[in-house]
A = this chain, B = another copy of it.
């Protein structure tokens, strides 16, 4: 069966919502798209809480372990572009970037080449996700490969993402109380504890109390970090 035919079949299945089994879709992609490695990652929470991420990949375990240990997701320009941008990211664009130097050299030790592609995926509110592939093609065929496959890969990744989102339905967004989100919102607006206490007509100590609860619930350590999460999740109306 040709790859094009595989794509047609997969698409028909996905459109009819008959496929909820993301593992099989992953395998189909692996088999039919000349992939060396692929990964789907969904950061439910921002930096600092790695336990709440949905990661599915075929990269060498040892590599992923090192990647996590060294917090490379914070410096990796590919991950950054993938999580903040809209367009697909060509790994080679960052080949000579100083911030990616270590990453590429580490990757090559595990047989990962720079013929890779990272597709940002659509998330509502609380998350950021991306799908990456490392193709098993020589450099000379790389342009043709990605031009040929990128459309199909993006649409399939979209469906993969959608399915995993549906599966992981349980909402991890911590519920802030009315007061907590109120105080968080004023903090995002640049007010100090004292100012907020005046605005809300409560004591400064109480404002602190709410912010402490907010930080704890969000699993963050500073107010700035809480604000980042709050804006990201749409808790804070700007």
Q: Decide if A189 touches B122 in the complex (CB within 8 Å).
A: no
Decide yes or no whether A46 CB sits under 8 A from chain B: yes
CB-CB nearest in chain B for A11: B147
Bound together, the chains give a CA A225 to CA B191 distance in angstroms of 8
Bound together, the chains give a CA A126 to CA B47 distance in angstroms of 19
Decide yes or no whether A35 CB sits under 8 A from chain B: no
The 9 A-B residue pairs with the shortest CB-CB distance in the complex, in nearest-first order: A151-B151, A190-B225, A84-B237, A188-B228, A80-B237, A47-B189, A231-B231, A86-B162, A122-B122
Decide yes or no whether A40 CB sits under 8 A from chain B: no
Contact sample, A vs B, 17 pairs, CB 8 Å cutoff: A8-B147, A11-B150, A47-B189, A79-B237, A84-B237, A86-B158, A88-B155, A125-B231, A151-B151, A151-B152, A154-B154, A154-B155, A190-B220, A190-B221, A190-B224, A227-B227, A228-B230
| A-side interface size class | 35 or more
Q: Decide if A190 touches B124 in the complex (CB within 8 Å).
A: no
Decide yes or no whether A90 CB sits under 8 A from chain B: yes
From B79, B88, B224, A223 is in contact (CB under 8 Å) with B224
Contacts of A111 in B (CB 8 A): none
Interface string of A195-238 (1 = CB under 8 A from B): 00000000000000000000000001111110110111010111
From B8, B120, B162, B222, A85 is in contact (CB under 8 Å) with B162
Q: Decide if A189 touches B147 in the complex (CB within 8 Å).
A: no
Decide yes or no whether A101 CB sits under 8 A from chain B: no
Min distance, Cβ A116 to any Cβ of chain B, angstroms: 14
Report which residue of A7, A128, A227 has the largest number of chain B beta carbons within 10 angstroms of its beta carbon: A227
State the A residues within 8 Å of B (CB): 7-8, 11-12, 14-15, 43, 46-48, 74, 79-81, 83-88, 90, 120-126, 128, 147, 150-152, 154-155, 158-159, 161-162, 165, 187-192, 220-225, 227-228, 230-232, 234, 236-238
From B47, B126, B154, A190 is in contact (CB under 8 Å) with B47
Min distance, Cβ A87 to any Cβ of chain B, angstroms: 5
